[in-house]
Chain A
Amino acid sequence: MNTDIQKVKSFIAKYHNQKKALISILQDIQAEFNYLPQEALKFTSDYLSIPLIDIVSVATFYRSFSLKPRGKHLVTVCLGTACHVRGGPKILEEFERHLNVQAGETTKDNQFTLETVACLGCCAIGPVVVIDGNYYAQTTRRKVSLILKDYTKKEKDNEGHKEN
């Protein structure tokens, strides 16, 4: 845990210990740990003398922050109007079935976090699914397992490399 605090300290120092940089600091913490650990938030609160509740308010207000550990891959299914009429909810259902989690949850092996989004702004290629920044256009139920296979396969490959 000690190293974590050191890292958080360095993030805060990067913004010259300014209170107004709270969101940037939280973004850095999120990038480092993949979520916002309670200890990190408590430390930030003490260090910048911002009430903890204010930091938690900010952290829970924005969707990009998460107080729960997230999986290695972030699966985002668009449920905006255009994607909705083109079958977004069905795609989501398929993902839920394959990953065995509900939207907003993380799989038990910490590999995937499934989330929904209101609109990604690329309605022409809907229904859209984004995994780790890669866009999958015109997704169908059939494609879901193929897309997921890519990531589970990569995972296995990586593990194989490590063993070698």
Chain B
Amino acid sequence: MINLKINNLDVKAEEGWTILETAKFYGLEIPTLCHNDGLSNYGACRLCLVEIGENENTKLVSSCTYPVEEGLEVHTDTKRVIEARRMMIELMLSIAPNSKVIQDLASKFGVTKVRFKVRNEECILCGLCVRMCKEQMDGKAIGFQNRGFKRKISTPFDIRSEECRLCGACMYICPACQLKCQGPQADTTICNACLTMDPTCLDFYDELQCWMYDAGRCGTCIREKSEKSDSNKQAKNAKY
């Protein structure tokens, strides 16, 4: 067993665990996007950043790829971490503003502006589909091509691959290209409907009745509760 500290909490971890796995085991939430339990860790989205080290000597690492060490000190929610996460969300939002997953993250973490040129692409190069195809489907039909600004995910020679069985697993797992944000069309890139809509989820029922169709996971109800306590007491009661 390896002893380490997460948020000043003494925790134990098995050898070979990552910080993310350890935190999850203890119920500490670290947001992730490119991580999936069934796939290898990749560390592309940088959402799971945590701060490690003591006193002045700290650095940001991606918790999904960092194996636990004896005596490691981890902080999952320092100011530096949250600022870095917000920046990552802002950057991803500028690439794929149509993604509901990313819009939800933006609302959840209070990202209310995008300072970058919007590219309106449908890929944030998280590599989930590539890993899905290779590791779970044994397809090896898609992969990264080119590099730098031109980096993209495609089949060899951009034609239908002989290895592809059209199983659709890549689309199933994609956080950016499938699920479009259901919120009202905002004037700007950023939707933030979950933050500004009035009224929003007055009651929290189940997946079918939630207007965002994701059973309150978008964070709408949570936000409204704290800000407009009167009209949303019901939601509060329903949620907890």
Contacts and interface: CB of A to CB of B under 8 A. Distances in A.
A60 B14 CA distance: 40
B170 to A, nearest CB: 12
Contacts of B145: 56-57, 60-61
B146 interface: yes
A38 B161 CA distance: 13
Contact of B144 (A41, A55, A57, A67): A57
B161 A53 contact: yes
B140 interface: yes
Main SS at interface, chain A: helix
Interface string B132-171: 0010000011111111000000011100010100000000
Interface string A45-86: 000000111111100110000010000000000000000000
Contacts of B157: 38, 56, 67
Interface size class of B (residues with CB under 8 A): 10 to 19
Interface residues of A, number: 12
Nearest to A61: B147
Contacts of B146: 60-61
A57 B151 CA distance: 10
Interface of B: 134, 140-147, 155-157, 161, 163
Interface of A: 38, 41, 51-57, 60-61, 67
28 contacts: A38-B157, A41-B156, A51-B134, A51-B140, A51-B143, A51-B163, A52-B140, A52-B156, A52-B163, A53-B140, A53-B141, A53-B143, A53-B155, A53-B156, A53-B161, A53-B163, A54-B140, A54-B143, A56-B143, A56-B145, A57-B143, A57-B144, A57-B145, A60-B146, A60-B147, A61-B145, A61-B147, A67-B157
